[in-house]
Amino acid sequence: MAINLLSDAQCRNATCEGRKIRKLSDGGGLYLWVLDDGSKYWRLRYWLAGKEKSLSLGVYPSVGLKDARSKRDEQRKVLGNSLDPSAERKAAKLKSQVAAANSFEKVANEWYAKQAHTWVPHHAADVLRRLEGNIYPSLGRRPIADIEAPELLAALRKIEGRGAYDLAHRVLQVCGQVFRYAIATGRCKHDLSADLRGALTPHKKLHQAAVRPEELPDLLRAIATYDEVGSKQTRLALQLLAQTFVRTNELIGAEWAEFKLDNALWVIPAGRMKMKTEHIVPLSKQALSMLAELKEIACGSRYVFPGRNPEKPISNNTMLFALYRLGYKGKMTGHGFRAVASTILNETGFNPDVIERQLAHCERNEIRGAYNRAEYIKERARMMQHWADYLDGLVKGAQVLLLHGNAA
């Protein structure tokens, strides 16, 4: 019996005609179901192993008549291969769900959540930003096991296209850690980052600028005059950084609760240290004097260096821009004080282990790190006072004798 095919007008104007469901046939098992609430659904009616089944093909008019017929034809091809369209759809949906659960972004975020608590906050933020800005847009939704080396390389080439060669290498390192985590958790079998070794543009690692030891006196004298062009707080921050040679982030985030002034000690908590190990800084007489001045400037803030908002510390750039104003752009950074202190102290006889402990180049082993935080503390206290006296002598232009740790 010939079947009258539906028309667009019939689909558009069809009603249930008082029935709960009215089924309009278009042939080949395709029906438009018209419900009593006015909604319309495409269904495919078919038989498999002697049993009648049906499959949803979408909602009208989102799926028009032409598209519904195309979907019907696709599913009938599946039937022609003795497969159940409904079962195939469920399998495809399950596969899609599994792929989404094992996407690069899902695996990377899982890896990140397990690692972030071991990093200082700014490093954790950097890692996440590198993934979100450079990898997730193109590879985030891809199943991690399906990603191939040329795809990862293409994402990294975009970074190189911006001239950010060092960043490209850093992002590759992070991706390598994600792939290795995926291997360990059974989500993929191969670390693609290993395949890309040598594929990126080589980059020269730039060390942060630092003055040479013979240039240190002029720098210290320039800092001593900073009140003429900037704030007293910033001048004291630079001087205390030179005295203690801690990392810039460790200085600007300092809180008064960390200082044991009666014992001339500054105890930086593990959470603020790069190596996640508590660090002790013996304070010289000069450093204690600076802190007394800073206490007055802080006006009750919990931070040693409060910003305009006393509930937050000064920014990372405060001291860097101060060095720029003093004419040291490209010549000196906050980190440079660590380099110059290390150079001079190592050249003048102090025990290298004492210097390394004071620079907080700690052991990664947690138990040994907990011991090392106070190791050589008496020698370190003597060294820090010698260093402060040495810096004072340089500022005054006095004939300064080289420090000699062995005699300390």
pLDDT in tens, 279-306: 999 999 999 999 999 999 999 999 999 9
> Is 3.90.76.10 the CATH classification of the domain at 8-94?
no
Of the pLDDT bands very low, low, confident and very high (cuts 50, 70, 90), residue 366 is very low
Q: How far apart are CA 328 and CA 319, in angstroms?
A: 11
Q: For the chain, where do the domains classified as CATH 1.10.443.10 start and end?
A: 213-407
pLDDT digits (tens, 9 = 90+) for 395-404: 987 545 554 5
> Is residue 327 pLDDT above 90, yes or no?
yes
The letter for the amino acid at 328 is Y
- Residue 407: per-residue pLDDT: 41
Name the β-bridge partners of 33: 23, 41
**pLDDT tens for each residue of 208-254:** 788 888 899 999 999 999 999 999 999 999 999 999 999 999 999 99
In the CATH hierarchy, which fold is given to the domain comprising 104-195?
A: DNA polymerase; domain 1 (1.10.150)
Ranked by mean pLDDT, the top range of 48-62, 110-124, 315-329, 352-366 is 315-329
pLDDT at 362 over 70: no
Catalytic positions are: 247, 274, 335, 338, 361, 371
pTM of whole model > 0.85?
A: no
What pLDDT was estimated at residue 323?
94
* CATH hierarchy code of domain 213-407: 1.10.443.10
pLDDT on residue 48: 77
Q: Is the per-residue pLDDT at 405 higher than 70?
A: no
197-223 in b/e burial notation, b at 16+ Cβ within 10 A? eeebeeeeeeeeebbeeeebbebbebb
pLDDT tens per residue, range 9-54: 999 999 998 899 999 988 888 999 999 899 999 998 888 766 888 8
pLDDT tens for residues 42-68? 998 888 766 888 888 889 999 999 999
Residues of the chain with CATH 1.10.150.130: 104-195
Average pLDDT over residues 153-180: 92
Residue range(s) of every CATH 3.30.160.390 domain in the chain: 8-94
